[in-house]
Amino acid sequence: MNNISEGEKLFEEGKIKEAKELFLTVLENGNSCKETYNNLAIISIQENNINSAIEYFTKALEIDPFYKTTVLNYTDLLRTMEKPEIAVPLLESFLKQNPQDKETQQLLEDINLADKTAVDIKKYNEDGIKYLGNNEFEKAKKCFVKSLALNDNQSSIRKGLLLALDAILKHNISETNKDISSTRPKYFDKGKEANPKRKLFLKYVPEKLVTEKTGLNILFISDFHVAGNQARMMKFLNNHTTHKARSIGFIKDYLNYGEDIVLDTNEHLKEVHELIKEADFFHFIRLKPNIPGIDLNKYLRKNNCMIDYFGSEITCHKDKVVDFHRQTGFFGLNKSIHEMYKGAESMMYHFPTMFDSSEYSKYEIDLNFYAKQEIVIGHSPTMPRIKGTHYILPIIERVNNRVQQKITTNLIMGKTNTDALLEKAKCDIFIDCLSTEKDIDGAGSGASQNSHESLALGKVTICSMDNFYLSFYPDAPIFSSTIEGLEDLIMNILNNPSIVKEKMKNSKSWLTQFSPNLMIERYLQIYQFVITGDQVVNSFDRFFKIF
């Protein structure tokens, strides 16, 4: 026994070779004992000699089938080999002799639960794949979410979930578009806004303000309607400043913010050409597009245009963006994407997203969910992959499995903005775009229109906010999280109402800094800087007048 103790001491000191030699010497001397075989099995595992480890464990159990140390060590090895079912009869036999052993009882329960979980995962995956193949996308989504909630490390199943989500989004958009013509646009209704006496840049100027329009002809051009920003800006410039504005888009937006010209007919294209020739200033939203039948480059100069970057998907083109600004010298505005500044610092400027919180004045901060038996977590992705939806949904399901309250998800996709807001108002907690720990500093992480809307509705709001965004808004009343930290954050929110109340108390006043009046003033300052190069603002100049 002294040799065994000496060998174990050598093992603890990291002298594995010497310990092994000593244990083998014990066996050669005819002193076969369970401790020696167990120790040689452990050494064999360290040497990655699994077959030898199994042989040694087996010999130890032949000497004493109820030797707990070997029972537990052998079970650990079998679980590592993903063969826990072999350990089950071993543990059951041990427990018959030692029914009070809680440690072994818990181990057996864990193995049985894991076995049941594996069966459940297999069933969810098989059903999900079947539903996906049959185009039953909602059913496929539910199966994949439940599977990933049980085992997060399934890349192929996560891809399947993403396929189901994209298909659901596409279907919902199609259904929304069927009724969109009978739904009033949220921000801009050109049928009601048009001035029948005027054309081109005076088309949407109220008649009483026509004589006040001594400023710029501003033309917005965008490949899509970014959260209604250009519709709101165009309307505000026409109704409240000395400038005139029009907006060109390339698609009709199912979100139904409202649009001016959509490039879908030759008649519209003719008007677009006329507007380009009359424009004094070009405000591009995201990338500068190509317009059929006209060379935009003939009309663009460093001092008459700028590009306003929205959306995290623009980070996919950040190298192209930086090269473009280096080559042209054009000015750019950037929504909190720090990586896009590198190499073009002198031509890029941070700028927040416009948001009118006064439209939500009837909503109060809502923390009533702490008294509810069912808590609704909302999520409204326009692009599930970029928003992290295929990670978020399984995490919410895991939280539901951990807490007493019922946690349900309200997945709001493919609806008009007006309908989406009605759904958001029904939620208790809202999750916006989330990034991984690896990507958070390069993905443009910060509060978007979605986050602003949920805050304005009085909802607890979660999104990824990187250090760059927080350097501008350190007091943001939003819970920042990565995908990896979301489950713990939700649990923390559910268990700590006082922390949530403190975080939310100034959310309404925080939003006022993004009001249209303030944002338009800042945009006009940028316009002047691009045109003149002068950073000094004369607030009495008619250029900055707001009615």
The 10s digit of each residue's pLDDT in 281-296 is: 999 987 788 898 999 9
SS3 content of the chain, % helix, strand, coil (to 5): 55, 10, 35
pLDDT for residue 444 is more than 60: no
pLDDT for residue 345 is more than 70: no
What would the pLDDT profile of 167-215 be if each residue is shown by its tens digit? 999 999 999 988 877 778 888 888 889 998 999 999 999 999 999 999 9
Does an H or E element contain 421, and which? helix 417-424
Average confidence (pLDDT) over 500-505: 95
Average confidence (pLDDT) over 297-310: 91
Task: Give the whole-angstrom CA distance, residue 214 versus residue 540.
Answer: 15
Choice between 364 and 85, residue whose per-residue pLDDT is larger = 364
Burial level of 226, CB count in 10 A (0-12/13-18/19+)?
A: buried
Task: Give the whole-angstrom CA distance, residue 453 versus residue 458.
Answer: 9
pLDDT of amino acid 356: 92
Q: Residues 115, 121: contact at Cβ < 8 Å?
A: no
What would the pLDDT profile of 104-128 be if each residue is shown by its tens digit? 999 988 888 777 888 899 999 999 9
Name the range with the highest mean pLDDT among 23-32, 248-257, 448-457.
Answer: 448-457
Q: What is the pTM of this model?
A: 0.81
Choice between 536 and 456, residue whose per-residue pLDDT is larger = 456
**Average pLDDT, whole number, for the chain?**
89
Task: Give the whole-angstrom CA distance, residue 478 versus residue 470.
Answer: 11
pLDDT for residue 1 is more than 60: no
Q: Residues 312, 444: contact at Cβ < 8 Å?
A: yes
Locate tokens 């020696």: which residue?
36
CB atoms within 10 A of CB 100: 7
Burial level of 147, CB count in 10 A (0-12/13-18/19+)?
A: buried
Name the range with the highest mean pLDDT among 19-28, 131-140, 173-182, 265-274.
Answer: 131-140
Q: Residues 246, 204: contact at Cβ < 8 Å?
A: yes
* Termini Cα distance of the chain: 96
pLDDT for residue 55 is more than 70: yes
Q: Residues 235, 187: contact at Cβ < 8 Å?
A: yes
Three-state secondary structure call for residue 488: helix
pLDDT of amino acid 188: 86
pLDDT of amino acid 340: 63
Nearest to 449 by CA among 336, 361, 282: 336
Average confidence (pLDDT) over 352-377: 92
H helical segments located in 153-282: 155-179, 190-193, 229-240, 266-278
